[in-house]
Amino acid sequence: MDFILDLIGRSKELFAADIATHQKELAELIQGSRFLVIGGAGSIGQAVTKEIFARSPKLLHVVDISENNMVELVRDIRSLLGYIEGELREQKLRRQGHQWSELCRKF
């Protein structure tokens, strides 16, 4: 991480102090919540998904059009963070329409 911070010209992570200060509240909020991450296998989506997953959500549903990237994301999460009591679901959307409407009704 120090290499990346040096590369972007920072000495510390931008939100590290805020996250540390509010860690307990974040964990409580996330553990009781369900999340839907659209585009979860992209670079930003993966970062968001991993941050949510690390705090043990009740349900984390990740949607993306790239099946290969979804597989890599799930493997990465399982190997780095293990398993949680909550539920992780991943889904590749083939097209917008009926499948999308069904997913949105669950949330």
In a 3-state reduction of DSSP, which class is residue 87? Answer: strand
Confidence of residue 105 (pLDDT cuts 50, 70, 90): low
Answer whether 88's CB lies under 8 Å from 63's CB: no
Q: Name the DSSP letter for residue 106.
A: T
DSSP per position, 4-19: HHHHHT-SS-TTHHHH
Return all residues near 85 (Cβ < 8 A) that are at least 6 apart.
Answer: 56
Give the mean model confidence (pLDDT) for residues 41-67. Answer: 89
The tens digit of pLDDT for each residue in 81-93 reads 877 665 566 665 5
At residue 86's C-alpha, the angle toward residues 13 and 89, to 5°, is 85
The tens digit of pLDDT for each residue in 38-52 reads 999 899 999 999 989
What's the predicted TM-score (pTM) here?
0.69
Pair type for strands 87-92 and 34-38: unpaired
